[in-house]
Amino acid sequence: MNFLFQDTSIIRIILVSILTTSSFSGVIQAQEKITLQQATEIALKSNLQIRQAQIFEALSAENLSQAKYSLLPTLNASNNVNFNFGRSIDPLTNQFVNQAVTSTNANLFSGVTLFQGFQKINLIVQNKYSLEADKSNTQKAKNDLLLSVVTSYLQVLNNQDLLKASNQQLALTQQQLDRTQKLFDVGNNTLADISQVKAQTATAELNVTNSQNQLDLSFLSLAQLMERDPAVPFMVEEPLIDEIKQVNTAYTAVEVLRKAMNTFPDIKLAEFQRLALDKAVDVARGNYYPRLTLQGSAGTGFSNGRQRFLDRRADGTNSTIGFVQGTNQVVLTPNFITTFEKTPFRTQIDENINQSLGFNLSIPLFNNFSARSSVRTAKLNLRNSEINVQLSKNNLNKVINQAVFDLRAAERRFYSAETAFNSSKDAFNVNQQRYDVGLVNSLDYTQSQTNLNQAQFDLIQARYDLIFRSKVIDYYLGNPINF
C-alpha cells in the first residue's frame, strides 16, 4: 500500500524509509526464506500429532492383518525332558524300574476353527472400517494443521505489512515534528502545536512497537507449527496475492455443504467409526453360537531305561525243577543267560510315533449372561456412534454457514475499508497542501493523518481477512490451500 503524495519532502521521507527497509532486508537476506508450500511440507513432516495419527493408522493396519491371519490353522511344538530317580515308572514302557531314567517327549499340535459364529469374518470387516477411520483421522489432522499453517503464514504477512505501514507513518510524523520544531523556533508555531505533533510521534512509535511485537508472536506461532526452534530466525516469502479480485466469493452454503459431506475427513471419520461399531455388534452375537474346531497332534519320545533283547544262550549249568514221582529222579533244566541292550535313540523315535485327530464342539449354555451383556454394550456403542455422526453433520452445517457468512462479510469490509482509505488519503493530501501554506492548523492536520493511519491499517487487515476467509472455504471443499 503506497501513498501518492505531491509534496517532495514527504516523498523524500518515504524514500528514506524504503532505503532503511532495504538496508534491513540486506541484513536478513542471510536468513532462510520459507515459502507457504515449504512451510506446509515442513509442518506435515515434523508435526508430532501427525506422527501419532500415523502410528494409530499403522496399528489398525496390523490389527487387520492379524484378524485375517486368525483364519489360518495354528501349529505349535513342545518338548519336555524328565529325570526320574529310584523306583519309578518309565513313562514310555510303563514298567517299574529301580534306576535313574532320563526321558524326553516331543509333540506337534495343530488346530483350526471351523465355525465360531462368524466372529472372525465379522472382526476382519470391523478392522477394515477401523483402519479407514484412522486414515480419515490422519487426513483430518493434516487438514487441520494445514489450515493452522496458512492462518499463521497469513498473519505473518499481515503483521509485516502493518509494521511497514507503521514505519512509514512514523517517518512522516518525524518529518512533521522536525518542520514544526523549526517553525516553533522562529515563533511561527505555538507550544500547543509542537506538543500535538510530539504526541502524534509518540503514538506512531507505539504503533511500530506493537506491530513489531505482533510480528514476532506470529513468527513464533508459525515456527511452533513447523516444530522449528524459535531461536533460529527465518523469513517468509510473500506470495503473489496482490490481485484481490482473484479471490472467489461466489459460494453458497448449500453447495459447499453438499460437497463437504462427501469429502470432509470429520464426516468420514464418524461414518467409518459407526460402521466399525455396527460390525462389533455382530462380533458380540457370535458368543451365542457353538464353536467347532478340528485338532490334530503327533508325538514321539525316548527313554534311556528302555531295553531290547539281544541274545540268549546256555551257561553250562542246570537247575533242579523237580523229581520224578516214584523214583525220586531229579529233573534238571539248563540255565540261560539273556543279554539286553539299550534301545537306540533313532529306533525309539521311530517306534514311539503317535498321532491323533479329533473334533471339538463347544456349546455355550450359560456363561453368567456375559454374551448378552457384550451384545447390549456393543449396541449402546453403536447408538452413540450414530449420534456422533449426526453431531458431526450438524456441526459441519453450522461452521460452513458461518464460514460463507464470514466470507461475504469480509468482502464487504474490504471494499468499505478500500473506499475509506482512498477517501482518507485524498483528504490527507488536501490537508497536507493547505497545512504547508498555513490554511490548516496542526490539530486538524494531525487528525487527518491519524485517520489515514487507521484507514491504512484497517485496509491491510481487511485484505488478509478476506484472503483467509476464502481459504477456509477451500478447506471445507477439500481444495488445495495455496495462493
Rg for the chain (alpha carbons), in Å?
46
Residue 87 located in a structural domain: no
Residue 466 located in a structural domain: yes
Per-residue model confidence (pLDDT) at position 86? 67
Same domain membership, residue 280 and residue 301: no
Q: How many distinct structural domains can be found in the chain?
A: 2
Q: SS3 for 152?
A: helix
Same domain membership, residue 148 and residue 269: yes
Same domain membership, residue 443 and residue 319: no
Same domain membership, residue 388 and residue 343: no
Residue 81 located in a structural domain: no
Confirm if 194 and 180 have CB atoms less than 8 A apart: yes
* Separation of alpha carbons 56 and 67, rounded Å: 17
* Separation of alpha carbons 132 and 269, rounded Å: 8
Residue 86 located in a structural domain: no
Domain boundary among 306, 339, 362: 362
Residue 342 located in a structural domain: yes
- Our CA dihedral for 411, 415, 421, 423, rounded to 10 degrees, sits at -160
Same domain membership, residue 15 and residue 52: yes
Confirm if 126 and 272 have CB atoms less than 8 A apart: no
Same domain membership, residue 335 and residue 259: no
Determine if residue 156 is left, alpha or beta; phi over 0 gives left, psi from -120 to 50 gives alpha, anything else beta: alpha
The number of CA neighbours under 13 Å toward the Cβ of 154 is: 23
Per-residue model confidence (pLDDT) at position 132? 95
Pairing of strands 234-236, 32-34: parallel
Same domain membership, residue 419 and residue 380: yes
CATH number of the domain to which 231 belongs: 1.20.1600.10
Same domain membership, residue 238 and residue 162: yes
Residue 336 located in a structural domain: yes
Per-residue model confidence (pLDDT) at position 330? 81
* Separation of alpha carbons 176 and 442, rounded Å: 10
Residue 235 located in a structural domain: yes
Residue 22 located in a structural domain: yes
Same domain membership, residue 121 and residue 108: no
Per-residue model confidence (pLDDT) at position 123? 95
Same domain membership, residue 335 and residue 188: no
* Separation of alpha carbons 472 and 256, rounded Å: 11
Same domain membership, residue 157 and residue 259: yes
The residue segments making up the domain with residue 142 are: 8-72+116-289+367-477
Beta bridge partners of 359: 294
Per-residue model confidence (pLDDT) at position 240? 62
Domain boundary among 347, 362, 377: 362
Which residue spans within 68-138 are E strands per DSSP? 74-84, 87-89, 96-98, 101-115
Nearest to 297 by CA among 116, 77, 71: 77
Cell of 205: 512509535
Domain boundary among 340, 362, 384: 362
Same domain membership, residue 341 and residue 207: no
**What does the pLDDT profile of the chain (483 residues) look like in tens digits?**
333 333 434 434 433 343 344 444 444 445 788 888 888 889 989 888 899 999 999 999 999 999 999 999 999 999 888 877 767 666 656 677 667 778 788 899 999 999 999 999 999 999 999 999 999 999 999 988 988 898 898 889 889 888 988 888 888 788 878 877 887 777 777 777 778 778 888 988 998 999 899 999 999 999 999 988 888 888 888 766 555 556 777 888 899 999 989 888 999 999 999 999 999 999 999 999 999 999 999 998 888 777 776 778 877 787 877 777 877 788 778 888 877 777 788 888 888 888 999 999 999 998 889 999 999 999 999 999 999 999 999 999 999 999 999 999 988 998 899 999 999 889 888 888 887 777 777 667 777 877 888 888 888 888 888 888 888 888 888 877 766
User: Rounded to whole angstroms, what are the CA distances from 472 to 68, 218, 349?
Assistant: 41, 19, 75
Per-residue model confidence (pLDDT) at position 1? 36
